[in-house]
């Protein structure tokens, strides 16, 4: 699967801990991320992540373009619902394009856990 990681600044630590927990699962997939999030996953966890621009500089839209082209299978986007984001229109566009193309999108740790456990179960049953 092609999996993208995006995390707002206050959620980056949560993303790192989450990816660490499922490192073995993620290393068998093609990974993508916005600039800083992707860099942190590579530097701290050691997974190879294709990095796009930072979210505010267009990274969210780059991932959205991959979704629209059928080149992304799953997005984990840990959003900070309590902080206003200057690139909120880009965020909303990504959410919309995932809905339009029926691409699973986890926006918090609870939904990310459900999706990743389903992926793990699917792989174990092969």
- 55 assigned to a ligand binding site: yes
- Start-to-end CA distance of the chain, whole Å, equals 14
Residue 83 annotated in ligand binding: no
Is 12 assigned a ligand-binding role in the annotation? Answer: yes
Catalytic residue among 14, 60, 73, 80: 60
Residue 73 designated active-site: no
36 a known binding residue? yes
Taking the C-alpha atoms of residue 21 and residue 11, their distance in angstroms, rounded to an integer, is: 16
Establish whether 59 is an annotated binding residue: no
Summarize the annotated binding site as residue ranges: 8, 12, 34-37, 54-55, 87
Summarize the annotated binding site for substrate as residue ranges: 8, 12, 34-37, 54-55, 87
Please give the positions annotated as active site. Answer: 60
């Amino acid at each position: 699967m092609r999996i993208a990681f995006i995390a707002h600044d206050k959620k980056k630590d949560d993303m790192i801990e989450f990816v660490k927990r499922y490192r073995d699962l993620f290393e068998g997939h093609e990974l993508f991320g916005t600039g800083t999030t992707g860099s942190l996953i590579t530097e701290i966890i050691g997974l190879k992540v294709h990095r796009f621009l930072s979210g505010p500089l267009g990274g969210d839209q780059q991932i959205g373009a991959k979704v629209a082209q059928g080149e992304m299978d799953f997005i984990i986007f840990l959003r900070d619902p309590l902080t206003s984001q200057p690139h909120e229109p880009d965020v909303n566009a990504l959410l919309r394009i995932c809905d339009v193309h029926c691409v699973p999108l986890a926006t918090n740790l609870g939904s990310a856990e459900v999706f990743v456990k389903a992926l793990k179960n699917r792989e174990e049953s092969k």
